[in-house]
Chains A and B, each alone.
Chain A
């Protein structure tokens, strides 16, 4: 198994989409995943926003970590620093999107603030820290993890749309059947695991 720090960034990008999908193998971001996937359109918007946020946050947090946190020796504060960076990035992204693309802002608007507390963002940043990625790898990992989350939520939204008209036991309706579907999706994604090994 290669060390985490010398994987080709391009390989890492695809690996974090398919073989170690942040949602299906690390359970991160499940809450908003279940809540939002009822609707196909909002899933698309949220997935896009999450991908952007994770990618940008990984890049910024990597820089802050290497040039501020480690030289100053304040690693014990890293959780707070990361969460502030994430909140700031989300806020900035909100402002930028509002300024340049009001129509996208309208469709994403309500979800943007919630991304701050999406486990997938902080999770990706913490994985990036623990695995000692280089800058390019951190960025590739960030966008890959986001794209993986996006792919998973789009798939789930499409599946849920089909389930709507099927006879599901009353007690299993809603969250229950969704969790079972996610379980099957996770099993399907295990099928990719032989391709690239990152973990």
Chain B
């Protein structure tokens, strides 16, 4: 049983990471990656809603008629996103104002629908919850990494604190939209080349057996 869960967690965090290998769900969060703090808040919101929406949809999967499944998924997801939005407004009003419409856009984040459709529709509630959580955390890890690079090079700060030396010249491109696309492309490139190299490693071992 625990072996199954660890596979789910490894899939979400690495081997099926939503950003590295599926390039899904970058829409709503990429826009805020020029600030580490906002990125962290957003990705936590995504993780929370993915986990709970997956759990909830997995509980409901036997009662939902196939025809209205998509709209039910969207409604359940928006329910959790509204919770995230209300919590942010109450406890982090300033961040909520800066994030603006992007919190609401978690609803249409492809990861949530993707996990609901690909995993929660065919699995038990607890497993779906863990799958949602792992995917959310995998997503968090990559985007926080991108945010560190963007904020450090773009402003010379981390979490708003100055870390770069005084004579550091900020790279304006890093806080503008194009750099986010380039960084995601670089990360995806790195992940894909790792995969290719791994496949190349396995090849020679398989070749002799095939010859035999």
Binary interface encoding of chain B residues 161-177 relative to chain A, with 1 for a CB under 8 A from any of its CBs, else 0? 00000000000000011
Q: How far is B79's CA from A170's CA once the two chains are assembled, in angstroms?
A: 42
Given the complex, which residues of B lie within 8 Å of A126, measured CB to CB? 100-101, 104-105
Given the complex, which residues of A lie within 8 Å of B184, measured CB to CB? 179
User: CB-nearest residue of chain B relative to A31?
Assistant: B110
Whether A57 is near chain B, meaning CB under 8 Å from some CB there, is: no
Q: How far is B195's CA from A172's CA once the two chains are assembled, in angstroms?
A: 12
A67-126 with Cβ < 8 A to chain B = 76-77, 79-80, 82-84, 87, 113, 116-119, 121-123, 126
Given the complex, which residues of A lie within 8 Å of B24, measured CB to CB? 31
Q: A171 touching B192 by the CB < 8 A rule?
A: yes
Tell me whether chain A's interface is mostly helix, strand or loop, or mixed.
helix
Given the complex, which residues of A lie within 8 Å of B79, measured CB to CB? 80
Question: Shortest distance in angstroms between A49's beta carbon and chain B's nearest beta carbon?
Answer: 16
Whether B130 is near chain A, meaning CB under 8 Å from some CB there, is: no
| 18 pairs of residues in contact across A and B, judged by CB atoms under 8 Å | A26-B177, A27-B27, A31-B26, A79-B78, A79-B104, A83-B74, A83-B78, A83-B107, A117-B70, A119-B28, A119-B105, A121-B108, A122-B107, A123-B108, A176-B188, A180-B185, A183-B180, A190-B177
Interface residues in chain A, defined as those with a beta carbon under 8 Å from any beta carbon in chain B? 24-31, 34, 76-77, 79-80, 82-84, 87, 113, 116-119, 121-123, 126-127, 129-130, 169-173, 175-177, 179-180, 182-184, 186-187, 190
